[in-house]
Structure 1
Amino acid sequence: MRVLITGSAGFIGFHLARRLLAKGHTVAGIDNMNAYYDVALKQARHAILSEDPRFTPHVLDITDRPALEAVVDGLRPELVVHLAAQAGVRHALKAPEDYVSSNIQGSFHVLEACRKHPPAHLLMASTSSVYGATDKLPFREDDQADTALNIYAASKRSMEVMAHSHAHLWKLPVTCFRFFTVYGPWGRPDMALFRFTRAILAGEPIEVYGHGRMARDFTYVDDLVEAITRLAAHPPVEGHQVGEMDSLSPVAPFRVVNIGGGNPVQLMDFIAAVESALGRQAEKLYRDRQPGEVETTWAEPALLRALTGEVPETPVTRGVQEFVAWYREFYGA
């Protein structure tokens, strides 16, 4: 297949592109290489992908509609996976306009490009953050998702709503997948695992938000990529539900799917896994939970299981060990 991945130099995009190339697909990658975090890390990911002649990198911003449409016009992709986004809940407090530009305007451009050249399936990355201020656990796809606690979540929910309208109007098959705290090798430097590892190795204290009482449904990146590739083979078809749990729209080939294992891990247990993998204890500074953060995320994976036959299951202890091994090798730590 001809596949287009936006955000191909990002953490998830890199792993997904590598998996699809290994399966023999032709992959075009789009990334703007912005400076939200270390550009050298993004360039290293693209360099590895570019070793395969079936990978074509395009350095451009999805907010540049003519440039984006030129790539889609030339490739005519059969599968599009839209991962490009301004990420980070905490950064949203500092630069909210970045989220409106990339996650809303940029996503609209992707939808419009796909309207002109419809792929067999468009998958768009959303987030568990859209569930917002809810005490209902675990999170189900048909739960209300209109109480966003930060602009990141609000921008991703806006993307989902726009995608539904395009699916309805143009019969474009769209799956929005909501992922839950993805981690693993080549991860983002702004995420907790990366920050904890770097600080502990440097002998610096780590900041523990929520006084350690938070929990996350951690998803190892290889599990996420497996779920995405399996979902790609199951585009939504209007009127064809897979069960009562299906979020399939009644008026469009559109659904949302949680990608999470349904096994929340307490933050302190996660930190203990990092300490074990590093063979060092961390000095901990306990802080209040930051604005916009929820206490617990917990996926209900029944729909993912019905569609793909699998749910993420890599234990945190093993996933953290894999990250630490990569970190030591990449940074010589």
Structure 2
Amino acid sequence: MNSAMAIGVSKEFGNVTALNHIDLSVGRGEFVALLGPSGCGKTTLLRLLAGFETPTDGEIWINQERVADKTRMIPPEARRIGMVFQSFALWPHMTVYENVAFPLQYQQHVPADYRDNPRQRVANMLEMVGLAGMENRYPSQLSGGQKQRVALARAIVFNPNLLLMDEPLSSLDAELRMQMRKEIQHIHRELGTAIIYVTHDQSEALGMADRIVVMRGGQIEQAGTPHAIYYEPQSPFVAKFVGRSNFLQGNWADARTFMLANGEGTIPIHVSRDCSAFHAHQVLPVRPDQLKLRPWEVGSGGVLGTVRHAQFQGREWLYSIRVGEEEWEVVTDTREPFGYDQQVEVEVCV
């Protein structure tokens, strides 16, 4: 059963097409990340699901109910959705308790026991987000992380069918972002509410979501699990945008054999996954961690490379390896550090 669906949804602003025939379904309890660069349409899609915009074409369904098409729209407060914004959007004149309790008074379809016992429900939500005992504080007395927790508690206090999050962590520092990711994942596990999470941060999407929807130019470029998006990109754009990729030059002998150009000749690379989307480009996308290094031995017949740069990162080394006219990025563990200008053999493991 789906919590939300967009069927053939398009949205135009004047002569600009922000979304072009989007089809998306989000299962009950699923965590879906909308990932893409600025201007790709991910926030517009979120606003359509929330009820802040009307589709130019297509339909929006939430919890088996059609809530919008080009002729009609059910308002946000009647959709039983929670929203968390980048800017927190807390009322400064209200206490933490008043901010969190607000939806219990004004949202439709609030369970009766929550509406009749708001103090208990708010106390439960604040305890869940780690703010127990802060009911009487004002937003000005809170840190950035605490404000975001209040915004999160307010979004889930009425037990929404769907939780929409628009880049909620982008205004926090790196340490707080990591902490809040854990909080959001914990709440998702506890409540089982479906989440649609808009971000341009690939690490957030890869680390938190059950499924990632990569968007580009108002359309869905690829949708799949984080593992599939990372290791099985279906276009050069996805391979470049989600993580780093080396595009090895050569030609495809058949569906599973890539002939790597190597000096005077070629070296066959046997590929275990579907790379048909890259056949026309005559390249093989390879992640830095799919390349292995070993000391070069004359006559090995492998791919010869030269270390151009090396950066120690604690648990791993980041290398730039010159291979012919190209420079490949490689990530390895620290067991075999290589020196600048050292010749190495590069193994491609795809």
Superposition TM-score, scaled by structure 1 size: 0.28
Which structure has the bigger radius of gyration? 2
Q: More relative contact order in 1 or in 2 (CA 8 Å, sep 6+)?
A: 1
Superposition TM-score, scaled by structure 2 size: 0.27
Structure having the higher strand fraction is 2
